[in-house]
Structure 1
Amino acid sequence: MERNDYTRSIFNGDQGIVLRVALRKGELRLMAVFRRGEGYVAYPLDSLRGSLSLSYAVSVHRSQGSEYTTIALVLPGQEMRMLTQEVLYTAITRARKGVLVIGQRDVFLKGIQTRIQRACRIGRRLQQSGP
């Protein structure tokens, strides 16, 4: 979802799935289905056109706060400074049941060994500000 729809309680960033739903009299209709609590809500796809964009994959950053049954983690083709232990932890902990890692073993291992180095110096700033 790309914009808020307060009347339907669906909001920018909400993810759903488009399904062909059988209605009465055998009519098939495309519906956008979103998880709500323990159940689902469905809206006619036509009524949401212009508010939706297709999503075939989600970045680790985008997936924060979400949970999936199974994830496929696609690693970059070579080592990257952005592939850190923290990023891998975030990615892997999105899955409830299974993780499929696609990529080179050495890239994965290097990512596990790479920690984010923060240069905020907050401790020194607090000491300088006094009691």
Structure 2
Amino acid sequence: NTPGKANLLNSSDIDFFDNFINNKKLNSEHIPAKDNILTGKIIELQHSYRFKENEDIGKFSSLVINGNTNPDLLIKPFKDCEGKTQCVKISGNYKDKEFYDLLKYYEEYAKEEDIEKAFEKLKKIMILCAVREGEYGFKAYNNIVEEHLKTKGLIFPGKSFYDKQPVMITSNDYSLGVFNGDNGIIRENKKTGQKRIYFQDEDGIKDFPVVNINSFQTVYAMTIHKSQGSEYDNVLIIIPDDENHKILSRELLYTAVTRARKKVLILGNDNVIIESVKRKINRISGIRERILND
């Protein structure tokens, strides 16, 4: 498992879990049968300690996960951040000035020369997109941030990788000990021109030549799915302007909002947010059915 993500299955664990479900002989220990497989569950996560339940993030996330679609509760109280220590703001304007104001955190990151401090500054901001492609996708928003920083003279993007580029690994490399979902920073040695990619875990900083890393993507923005297990001070959430988009659900929105410690800016139409909260996905049902049928 990737360090620091022990509460979640990462992408590389899915195949193992699937094999576990299908293997009836992994363990000979007798386990008493239950009429309901969820009876006697050990842990049920109901609370996050990143934010207070009586402040915006706690209130909004509770409304979302409980499926409350009353606009007077779900939408109207979350239209500005004035006087709030924690804040959720919903804006239907995809060019909201506050979006560009929050990019100052990426500017601060790009100015930071110390690698450990750079990792800390990356924890202050993240753009989370519901989709990969199109004008609301994470690829488009990566380009927006890159262009913003390039205009400021803070980065000089190349065709594949460049100095100060934040990246996410997209495939496992067991020989190097880096895994799908790990975040890193590319730095260029000013004297030699060699680029290396740096990673941070509980043991400190490790680095490798960029040419040793086979698969990664720029990560000023990422999909909400990829953000599971992460947290940031400020989160910008991009919701497609399409009430019928199949990706939207209350679980997706809840995951995105609860990545934030201090501030959430949601760029999305009010009606799309309401429709998202109406949709509930029961992901455990398929697993439950397979176990009960064995």
Q: Provide TM-score, normalisation by structure 1.
A: 0.68
TM-superposed deviation, 1:75: 0.3
| Count of residue correspondences | 122
Residue of structure 2 equivalent to 1:74? 238
1:9 equivalent to 2:172? Answer: no
Cα distance change, pair 110–69 in 1 and its aligned pair in 2 (3 A) = same
Cα distance change, pair 69–9 in 1 and its aligned pair in 2 (3 A) = farther
Cα distance change, pair 62–31 in 1 and its aligned pair in 2 (3 A) = same
Residue of structure 1 equivalent to 2:278? 113
Cα distance in 2 between the residues matched to 1:103 and 1:43: 39
Q: Secondary structure at the match of 2:206?
A: strand
Q: Secondary structure at the match of 2:216?
A: coil
Matches within 5 A, 1:33-48: 33-37=198-202, 39-48=204-213
Residue of structure 2 equivalent to 1:85? 250
Cα distance in 2 between the residues matched to 1:31 and 1:3: 18
Residue of structure 1 equivalent to 2:229? 65
Residue of structure 2 equivalent to 1:55? 218
Greater Cα offset, 39-48 or 110-119: 110-119
Q: Secondary structure at the match of 1:87?
A: helix
Q: Secondary structure at the match of 1:77?
A: coil
Q: Secondary structure at the match of 1:54?
A: strand
Cα distance in 2 between the residues matched to 1:27 and 1:94: 38
Identical counterparts, % of pairs: 33
Cα distance in 1 between the residues matched to 2:184 and 2:260: 17
CA offsets 1:82-126 (integer angstroms, 9 cap, x no match): 311111111111223332211212212322233236794969x96
Structure 1 segments unaligned to the other structure (5+ residues): none
Cα distance in 2 between the residues matched to 1:119 and 1:47: 38
Q: Secondary structure at the match of 1:66?
A: coil
Residue of structure 2 equivalent to 1:97? 262
Cα distance change, pair 111–54 in 1 and its aligned pair in 2 (3 A) = same
Cα distance in 1 between the residues matched to 2:176 and 2:284: 43
Cα distance in 2 between the residues matched to 1:118 and 1:43: 38
Q: Provide TM-score, normalisation by structure 2.
A: 0.35
Q: Relative to total residues, which structure has the larger helix share, 1 or 2? A: 2
Q: Relative to total residues, which structure has the larger strand share, 1 or 2? A: 1
Structure 2 segments unaligned to the other structure (5+ residues): 1-168
State the superposition RMSD in angstroms: 3.3
